[in-house]
Amino acid sequence: MTFKILLDEIHSNIQKIIEQLKLPETLFVVEPAKSNFGDVMCNVSFLLSKHLKKKPYDVAQIISDKYQPFLGNLVEKVEAHPSGYINFFANYSHLNGIILKSSMSDNYGFLDLGHKSKIVVEHTSVNPNKALHIGHIRNIIIGDTVARILRKTNFDVRVLNYVDDSGLQVADIILGVTKLGLSKKPPKGKKFDQYYGDEVYVKTTEEYSSNQDLEKTRQKILQDLEDTDSEIAKLGNEITRDVLKAQLDTCWRLSVFYDCLNFESQIIRSGLWTQVFEKMKEMKLVELQQEGKNAKCWIIKGENNEEDKVLVRSNGTATYIAKDIPYAAWKLGLLPDPFNYAQYSIQDNGKILWETTLDESQESKQDFTGDKVITVIDSRQSRLQKIITKLMSQFKSDKKSYVHLSYESVTLSSAAAKQLGIDSVGKQTQMSGRKGFYVNADSVINMLTTKAFTETHNRNLEMNDESVNQIVRQIVVGTLRYEMIKQDLDKIITFDFVKSLSLEGDTAPYIQYTHARSAGILGKAGFDPNFETTFELLKNPFEISLIKEIGKFELHILDAVNNFSPKVIARYCHILAVAFNAFYEHVKVLDDKNESIKNERLCLVKSFQLTIQKALGLLGISAPEQM
RNA sequence: GGGCCCGUAGCUCAGCUUGGACAGAGUGUUGGACUUCUAAUCCAAUGGUCAAGGGAUCGAAGCCCUUCGGGCCCGCCA
């Protein structure tokens, strides 16, 4: 608790004043002020001015007068501003120590909002027939970042990745390798996911348009896939698992980790659908159409003018959304768990990645359900997700237990499209996996790696390649993750090979660089700063503003969690880095002859370093000591 | 026809949940700062009818309505 203590102190004091003056209850706001207007501002005078029939400024004066007895602890001065705001000036001789000392704790920024409650985050969930593209990366990074933030706020987080290993896209690649003579094994040096996505899937899709007879073959394969013991199903299982492994390699390169893999084929065979379908019938959430275009289908009625949604076809088979419903219910723990669990692998973060299985397993039963479920899927699926959200709210007393975390897609700039051989006449374009028109995630990582290597090598000519590469990895992961998270979820990201891969300006390397600068100072100082001091010597504007930003860490975490808004943390990292750079340019830490000042400044540098590490950590970004 | 999202500086975006103080960054352009704790940096200048119109309010970029412009979705595909 740091800057928040200051806000809480002021809030409760104003509350007392309102009671003293017998004023009506008011939902006033106490928040950090803009620069030049003190440290904290309060809008209470605007809200009370009507009731008191006075100008906001006059109310502000009354309240600031009444506030005088409360001064002396964390607030040094209070001022009624002619605009009507009440501005508070912090007592930094107290606050400095509180902030700097608490920032030394490993727990700094930790907030207990979740009380260890179980929460599921599902993300990635890419069909296992192709390589990840830059659009998938946005999903993955959003999901992973949200999971990290939830962990920091004491939720018991379980991260799931849903693998759609049955269905048409899988039938397509099987058709490619069994009927079109395409090799089952990728050529040497080509990743499994890239081979299947770029070659097999694209070529098979092309073939459909010229060869109508293939449609029957496709349907036959789709049918065979349902029968676990068939040769086709075995082949399908083999291929999708190889593709999945290759996809996961890409995710792991970006420091993204999971707790459990769910396979659609198993959900289908588990019988969960029948259970949830019966429940929906009982609750009269579905109805069997007798006539009309959906005759003999089970449907969910569309709300206000929206089309009805078919769940079960007239031939008795379930549609896509009908597979999602049992999965959603399973994630919320609404159905008995039919699965056993097996270890898929041990990930680089040291954690086991589990997978569900319907076979016997030596491993003990696991629990990957949550009281709350967050499903990260792009906005194009909003309608389906809306239906599922509504259904879940009818199944569960907590109406907000199922959350569709929606985000806009990634498109390609016209320049990027052109590089891929498409003339989009100056407009941005949607990617298409089917057409093989997309920016591959691995290739972006590789391009960034080349670029970052050149930059890093040129700046550190004496450094060996191994050390350079270690730094490069951190820069690459940081750059890509930051680029995917820094803007709001409802904004389209237009990917551009030049702009999106920049290492300057508002980017991860900028922030990482400030970290390296702080590490440089601490390294050269040659001694560990001593925090047993009053920090009263830190009072120039650059020091104060840096301390202030460090103190606001938890306010931003609170904001990020309450609004499921990971970009808040990215913006905080940037603000913090800007504050440090200003300090760095204007305050020479090591030059000062006064050892006490030098020590306190080194404490500040240390405090900054630890805080930016933690903040970047929430984004899955690590920071090098040297760049 | 119905639904969702976006529109703020040349470009990319914060700010909108909780209405009030000169609308902020990055990038671009122009100029400046490296014998100094790392110039992936910093400083300065430049740049805005907050898409348009209306409404409620003492007060709107923000709330409500309408219009315009752009994107996405609406299958017995997944």
Query: In 3-state terms, what secondary structure has residue A208?
Result: helix
Which residues numbered 555-614 in chain A sit less than 7 A from strand B, measured from CB?
559, 562-563, 567, 571, 574, 578, 581-582, 584-585, 587-591
Phi, psi (deg, nearest 5) at residue A533:
-150, 175
- Which nucleotide shows the minimum CA-to-C1' distance to residue A312? B76
- Which nucleotide shows the minimum CA-to-C1' distance to residue A56? B20
Strand B closer than 7 A to residue A36 Cβ: yes
Range with lowest mean pLDDT among A19-28, A159-168, A379-388? A19-28
pLDDT of amino acid A621: 98
Cβ neighbours of residue A289 under 8 Å, at least 6 residues apart?
Answer: A295, A296, A297, A298, A299, A308
Distance A75 CA to B52 C1' (A): 46
Sign, CA torsion A563/A565/A570/A575: negative
Which residues numbered 420-439 in chain A sit less than 7 A from strand B, measured from CB?
427, 430
pLDDT in tens, A63-107: 999 999 999 989 999 999 999 999 999 999 999 999 999 999 999
| A167 backbone φψ class: left, alpha, beta (φ>0; ψ -120 to 50) | left
Strand B closer than 7 A to residue A51 Cβ: no
Give CA–CA dist A104/A511, Å, rounded: 20
Query: For tokens 């693998």, what's the residue?
Result: A163
A519 or A166: which leads in pLDDT? A519
Q: What is the pTM of this model?
A: 0.96
Judge: domain A3-90, CATH 3.30.1360.70: yes
Catalogue the E-assigned strands of A547-598: none
The answer to whether residue A469 scores a pLDDT higher than 80 is: yes
Query: In chain B, which nucleotides are within 7 Å of a protein Cβ?
Result: 1-6, 12-15, 17-18, 20-22, 25-28, 36-43, 58-59, 71-78
pLDDT of amino acid A599: 96
pLDDT of amino acid A25: 84
The answer to whether residue A50 scores a pLDDT higher than 90 is: no
- Which nucleotide shows the minimum CA-to-C1' distance to residue A451? B40
Distance A527 CA to B58 C1' (A): 60
The gap from C-alpha A278 to its chain's centroid, in whole angstroms, comes to: 35
Give the confidence band of A10 by pLDDT, cuts at 50, 70, 90. very high
Residues A571-582 have a mean pLDDT of 97
* Contact present, A478 and A509 (Cβ < 8 Å): yes
Which residues numbered 195-254 in chain A sit less than 7 A from strand B, measured from CB?
none
Q: Which value does ipTM take for this structure? A: 0.96
Whole-number Cα distances in Å, A356 to A263, A270, A271, A360: 7, 11, 14, 11
The CATH number assigned to the domain with range A118-410 reads 3.40.50.620
Range with lowest mean pLDDT among A142-146, A428-432, A519-523? A428-432
Query: Are β-strands A372-378 and A287-288 bridged in parallel, bridged antiparallel, or unpaired?
Result: unpaired
pLDDT of amino acid A26: 87
The answer to whether residue A304 scores a pLDDT higher than 80 is: no
Residues A184-191 have a mean pLDDT of 95
The answer to whether residue A369 scores a pLDDT higher than 80 is: yes
pLDDT of amino acid A405: 97
pLDDT in tens, A128-186: 999 999 999 999 999 999 999 999 999 999 999 999 998 889 999 999 999 999 999 99
pLDDT in tens, A211-261: 888 888 998 998 888 888 899 999 999 999 999 999 999 999 999 999 999
Boundaries of every domain in chain A: 3-90, 118-410
Give the confidence band of A1 by pLDDT, cuts at 50, 70, 90. low
Query: For tokens 């009354």, what's the residue?
Result: A62
Distance A358 CA to B25 C1' (A): 52
Mean of pLDDT over chain A? 94
Q: Counting beta carbons within 10 angstroms of the beta carbon of residue A411, is it exposed (0 to 12), middle (13 to 18) or buried (19 or more)? A: buried
pLDDT in tens, A446-456: 999 999 999 99
Strand B closer than 7 A to residue A164 Cβ: yes
Instruction: Provide the 10 A C-beta neighbour count for residue A286.
Output: 21
